[in-house]
Structure 1
Amino acid sequence: MVKRVLMIAYHFPPASGSSGMQRTLSFSRDLPEHDWQPIILSIYPRAYERRCDDQLADIGSETIVYRAFGLDTARHLALGGRYSRFLALPDRWVSWWLGAVPAGLRLIRRYRPQVLWSTYPIATAHLIGLTLHRLSGIPWIADFRDSMTEDNYPSNPRVRRAYRAVEAATVHRCTRAIFTAPGAVRMYAERYPERSDKTWVLIENGYEDSIFDTVSLPSLRDSPRPFRLVHSGVVYPNERDPRAFFEALASLKRSGQITAQSLQVVFRASGSEDYFRQLLREWGIDDIVHFEPHIPYRGALAEMLTADGLLILQASNCNHQIPAKLYEYLRARRPILGLTDSEGDTARVLRQAGIETVAPLDSAAAITATLQDFLKQLQDGTAPVASEAEIARSSRRSRVASLAECLEETIATDLNFER
């Protein structure tokens, strides 16, 4: 018998620039193989800051998609560039709750889903899931992915209090809480010890092989060219601060070990480009490092597949998080330079894959030494790539199987929760 799951997700095609969208898209496309039909409750595309239609064709043929009313407070409800903070708590898309709750109730009456599922990083998605759960009594799975709150995150205290309130209500009412890294599972188990160990579920991110198989690769010239390192995706000034990396590049350039003719570094769709370009000018490496705009998803994958090396950045304050792009890096079968804390979950995944080219993100000296070794390995053709076993394990197909198992357990088990 085919069962149904109502999936509440802000990021869904034609949204652009979110790794979370790939997670929901893959889950929804592959769940029918496990006898689950997905019903997507998303937001009307006007709410997206950036849209791209290139992945609309990737939506599964059995996926039912409904897009509810919702506005971006900062863009649609501002006067003179200013808007009321009350209209942006817990986030700028809180108006989505007004459209999604009645839409969700209609979908529940029509399709009779056995499970509700909502996914962060838009906190309003969990608020919608919470409301629909309370009104319908249908068991609810909260896909947190990463932590909603930390001691100093979000940085605005009022927003942090709002997030913590949504987080606490979600944890106490949901049947299962899913995270993408072991460190996050441990953190929440310690933060909410009243919940059973069965509450916490680890389903990591991954790559989608069916999309990789459709990527068109450009023809490469045989003529000599610089080594090309690529970082694909957002560079957060705090959590992925590249300044020590820039300092290492500047040091190697001053000593004559690298030039613009020997090395090019591309940051693709990083955000904060103006700020970073100023740093490049100050370090004198703006001929080596380039910040390039967003391109369609398959184009970004093609860039990974043809790079000489791939760059991952993750600060020690995110040791319990793993950038989703790392799994796509593994699938690309290209050498990876990991600038991250050796004790964190990101470094753990790299080591599991057989990649040891890792240096702490905040140490220019360590990065300089590791980068020298990495470039020599590229030159010699000895730079390691991910093991085939780890590549196979990181496929989203295995993640979807884990989600299907979680859905089955949710409807099969009658747990007594404190409400």
Structure 2
Amino acid sequence: MMKKVVMIAYYFPPAGVVGSFRVAKFVKYLRQFGWEPVVLTVREDCYSPAVWLDYELLNRNIPEDVHIYRTRTWYSKIVNDEGIKWLPFLLPKLVQVIRKEHPCLLYFTGGPFFPLIAAPLMKAFFGLPYVIDLRDPWRLAHRKTPPRGVKAYLGQLLARLAEPIVVKHAAKVVCATEQMCKEYREEYRYLPSQRFVTITNGYDPDDFSEVKPFRFADITVVYTGKFRTSEAFRDPLPFFKALRILRERGRKVHFVHVGNLEEEVMNLAKSVGVQDLVEFVGPRPYKEALAYAKGADVLLLIGGGQKSEQTSKIFDYIGCKRPILALTSRDTEIAKVLKEIPNVIVIENIVPEIIADAIEKMCFGRQKVEQTPNFDEKYHRRTLTGLLSKVFDEALKTEIKRKENARDR
């Protein structure tokens, strides 16, 4: 008999953002491990205009008979945080879903993080254990530029108050990187260390099997996704300067960015004088973005300065089987994953001349660059979902044992 889990996620297909993919793949494979997923998320029209809606992502990954509940969010020009705007509608809907579906476990993923506040409340009302999945750090986020203003201060204050409560009462806390897990174990060292587990992001070979590479006319470096995030700025300036150096050497290399248009980045390209070498194609459906990536001579990855960062595009890049240039420190989670595969150069995002040398070696080297071989099974989304199912099983056993001990007292 299937055990049932309600999965609460603000981002879920058709939202074509990184936050959607992790939970979507869990939903896709959970039934293979004895768990029936039920999803609670927001309506498609509640996402910001910047969120690309990719209905193929929904149809390709989510079984038709999976129960998906969607709610509206609170419209407010004063409150910016998506999670806070969802809470007034999430809470009553979650109560309704629990009473209808009778789950034995709740799963919450963030960010946004403030919906996680519902977890200890539901545990108090219904006695349901819950698992928290942190795709990024919440209170422990290392921002290069601390948020300023009253709203930012109140947000930080609420995070400092809420996160310890959410973590303390969680059956398990899943972190997307080992470094993040280490930091949370240290921060909450009064809790059992085994409460914190690592389940990385990964890739699904099904996503790549039917994707045909985009054909570029020139040697091309491709970058997919955001440069600016809430925690940091993945600075492309040294890379743009490297493109200029290569042109001065007689080496013409084009750059293509697939993702939301960022004026800040476009202006940087102009300031360096390489606007004729760069193309910003804007957001594209997931499969089309993969086609651009598969057609690249080199895939560019830029770190945001956090050791715990492990952007999910790493695994998409690996699945595309193309050479990767990673501009990041060697002590980051990004570098730790990439050192396991060939055809990768990892260098600091500092000196344009060194970056130019790396691009020249990868794009114009005499030796033909071999494609990245099939990656280790441990990063397959099905394998990672198997790990999550074990976390669910352990959470359930822990709660059963806790209730038995309470009865014996």
Counterpart of 1:244 in structure 2 is: 238
In the other structure, the counterpart of 1:45 is 44
Instruction: Please give the secondary structure, in 2, of the residue aligned with 1:117.
Output: strand
CA–CA separation in structure 1 for the residues paired with 2:346 and 2:371: 13
Aligned to 1:177: 173
Percent of aligned pairs with the same residue? 24
Amino acid at match of 1:227: I
| Corresponding residue of 1:294 | 283
CA contact (8 A) 1:330 1:385 kept: no
Q: Deviations over 1:295-333 (max 9, x none)?
A: 111111121122221111103x31211010110111111
Q: 2:313 aligns with which of 322, 325, 332?
A: 325
Shift of 1:338: 0.7
Q: Deviations over 1:266-299 (max 9, x none)?
A: 1111442x22222212211111122221111111
Task: Name the CA shift for 1:268/1:195 in 2 (closer, same or farther; >3 Å).
Answer: same
1:386: which partner in 2? 372
The farther-off stretch of 170-179 and 228-237 is 228-237
Over residues 335-357 of structure 1, what are the superposed CA-to-partner deviations in whole Å (9 max), with x where a residue is unaligned?
11111111111011110123441
Tell whether the 8 Å contact from 1:5 to 1:36 is kept in structure 2 after alignment: yes
Paired position in structure 2 for 1:3: 3
Q: Write out aligned runs for 1:127-142 (5 A).
A: 127-142=117-132
Output the amino acid matched with 1:108: I
How many angstroms does 1:208 deviate by? 1.8
Q: Which residue of 1 aligns with 2:63?
A: 60
Which amino acid in structure 2 is aligned with residue 228 of structure 1?
Answer: T
Residues 1:27 and 2:26 are matched in the alignment: yes
CA distance in 1, matches of 2:326, 2:260: 17
Kindly indicate whether the alpha-carbon contact (under 8 Å) linking 1:118 and 1:142 is maintained by their aligned counterparts in 2: yes
- 1:35-85 per-position Cα deviation (integer Å, ceiling 9, x unaligned): 1110000012221013332323122234210002213xxxx322xxxx2xx
CA–CA separation in structure 1 for the residues paired with 2:380 and 2:250: 38
Matched residues in 2 for 1:247 and 1:389: separation?
A: 32
Asked if 2 retains the 8 angstrom alpha-carbon contact of 1:5 and 1:116, the reply is yes
TM-score relative to the length of structure 1 = 0.87
User: What do residues 347-386 of structure 1 show as CA deviations (whole Å, max 9, x unaligned)?
Assistant: 1111012344111123324323322222234x6313x543
CA displacement, residues 227-281 of structure 1 (integer Å, 9 cap, x when unaligned)? 111111111274311111112222222x33322xxx2111111442x22222212
In the alignment of these two chains, the number of paired residues is 390
* Mapping of residues 272-291 of structure 1, within 5 Å: 272=262, 274-291=263-280
CA RMSD of aligned residues (A): 2.1
Question: 1:157-306 to 2 correspondence within 5 Å?
Answer: 157-217=153-213, 220=215, 225-236=217-228, 238-253=232-247, 255-259=248-252, 263-272=253-262, 274-306=263-295
Distance change (3 Å), C-alpha of 1:154 and 1:172: farther
Q: Distance in 2 between matches of 1:154 and 1:212?
A: 38
Check conservation: 1:148, 1:164, Cα contact below 8 A: no
Partner of 1:108: 98
Determine helix, strand or coil for the equivalent of 1:135.
helix
Q: SS of the counterpart of 1:413?
A: helix
| Match in the other structure for 2:406 | none
1:8 touches 1:129 (CA, 8 Å); kept in 2?
A: no
Secondary structure (helix, strand or coil) at the match of 2:228 reads coil
Q: Secondary structure of the residue that 1:10 maps to in structure 2?
A: coil
Q: Does 1:144 align with 2:134?
A: yes
Contact 1:52 1:296 in 2 (8 A): yes
Aligned 8 A contact 1:232 1:325 in 2: yes
The answer to whether the 8 A contact 2:12-2:41 is kept is: yes
CA distance 1:24–1:412, shift in 2 (3 Å) = same
Which residue in 1 is equivalent to 2:407? Answer: none
| C-alpha spacing 1:389/1:25, structure 2 compared with 1 (3 Å) | closer
Q: Per the alignment, in what secondary structure is the counterpart of residue 6 of structure 2?
A: strand
Is the partner of 1:318 in helix, strand or coil?
Answer: coil
Measure, in 1, the Cα distance between the counterparts of 2:131 and 2:301: 30
**Aligned in 2, Cα 1:324/1:355: closer, same or farther, shift over 3 Å?**
same
Change (3 A) 1:162 1:154: farther
Under a length normalisation based on structure 2, what TM-score does the superposition of the two structures give? Answer: 0.89
Residue equivalent to 1:400: 385
SS of the equivalent of 1:311 reads: strand
Q: In the alignment, residue 249 of structure 1 is paired with which amino acid?
A: L
| 1:143 Cα offset (Å) | 0.3
Q: 1:343 maps to what in 2?
A: 331
User: What SS does structure 1 have at the residue aligned with 2:63?
Assistant: coil
Q: How many Å separate the matches in 1 of 2:142 and 2:212?
A: 44
Give the one of 352, 356, 366 matched to 1:368.
356
Distance of aligned partners of 1:214 and 1:169 in 2 relative to their CA distance in 1, 3 Å threshold: farther
Structure 1: segments with no counterpart, 5+ residues: none
> For structure 1, which segment, 53-62 or 101-110, has the greater mean C-alpha deviation from structure 2 after superposition?
53-62
Q: 3-state DSSP class of the match of 1:40?
A: strand
User: Which AA in structure 2 matches 1:57?
Assistant: N
